[in-house]
Amino acid sequence: MWDYRTPGIPDELFERTEDVPITKEDVRALAVSKLRLKEGFSAIDVGCGSGSITVELCLQTRGKVYGIDFDSNAVELTKKNLLKFGVDAEIVLGKAQDVLPTLPKVDAIVVGGTWGDARQVIQLAVGRLKKGGRIVIDTILIETMYQALTTVNELQLAEVDVTQVTIAKARKVTTGTMMLARNPVMMISATKP
């Protein structure tokens, strides 16, 4: 299905539904690259949605990957995409606050959904990171970014990087090609010392 070792699988290759979000390919490629993955690493995708990041984590690490979402539609869609791409992950239906404490420590975590409680979700996620592990938090909400950055600083994480990504994609119109902007995404990446 995807024979390349680079992240950024085209969105149209994923099974999609209107009611389940997907992290778009350009943002996903950046998020995955900021995790600094190696083969055999373990990872958690918090707020797995359509499973696009979960699939990318499986392909990049070939290690143990977990996906968490509170929406049963998202969990089912993630499972469909894992099957489509021929990879395996443990997908858990539940709130991150309840599920994260039950998971083993991992090398990398992506937090894409905090359901309004970024501080607690990030604290619990960092608690699941091995020493030297990487976390990436992405959001489109300013309030979530503020909570995330405050929490990352309070936890004294290392190598903190804050990036805002603004992507525009081309669309053909009758007179040529125009660029359509997507929502800006704010991303924090950091290492557990």
Domains within the chain, CATH numbers bracketed? 11-191 (3.40.50.150)
Whether the predicted pLDDT of 57 surpasses 80: yes
Average pLDDT over residues 33-58: 97
pLDDT category, 4, cuts 50, 70, 90?
A: confident
Quote the percentage of the chain above a pLDDT of 70: 100
Label residue 2 exposed, middle or buried (CB < 10 Å: 0-12, 13-18, 19+): middle
- In percent, the amount of the chain with pLDDT more than 90 equals 94
Residues pairing with 95 in the sheet:
none
Q: What is the mean pLDDT of residues 104-117?
A: 92
Residue 114 sits at φ, ψ, to 5 deg, of -120, -5
Q: Is the pLDDT of residue 1 over 80?
A: no
Kindly report the length of the chain: 193
Structure confidence at residue 113 (pLDDT): 78
Q: Give residue 114's pLDDT.
A: 80
- Mind listing the pLDDT tens digit for each residue in 126-135? 999 999 999 9
Query: What integer is the mean pLDDT of 83-109?
Result: 97
- What's the pLDDT at 115? 78
Mean pLDDT score, 153-172: 96
Per-residue pLDDT, averaged over 92-99, amounts to 97
CA 152 and chain centroid, separation:
17
Res. 118 pLDDT band, cuts 50 70 90? very high
Give the type of residue at 163: T
Q: What is the mean pLDDT of residues 129-152?
A: 96
Does residue 46 contact residue 113 with C-beta atoms inside 8 Å?
yes
C-alpha–C-alpha distance, residues 179 and 193, integer Å: 41
Per DSSP, the residues of 37-103 read --TT--EEEES-TTSHHHHHHHHHH-S-EEEEES-HHHHHHHHHHHHHHT---EEEES-HHHHGGGS
What's the pLDDT at 116? 79
Among 174, 179, 175, 166, smallest CA distance to 24 is for 166
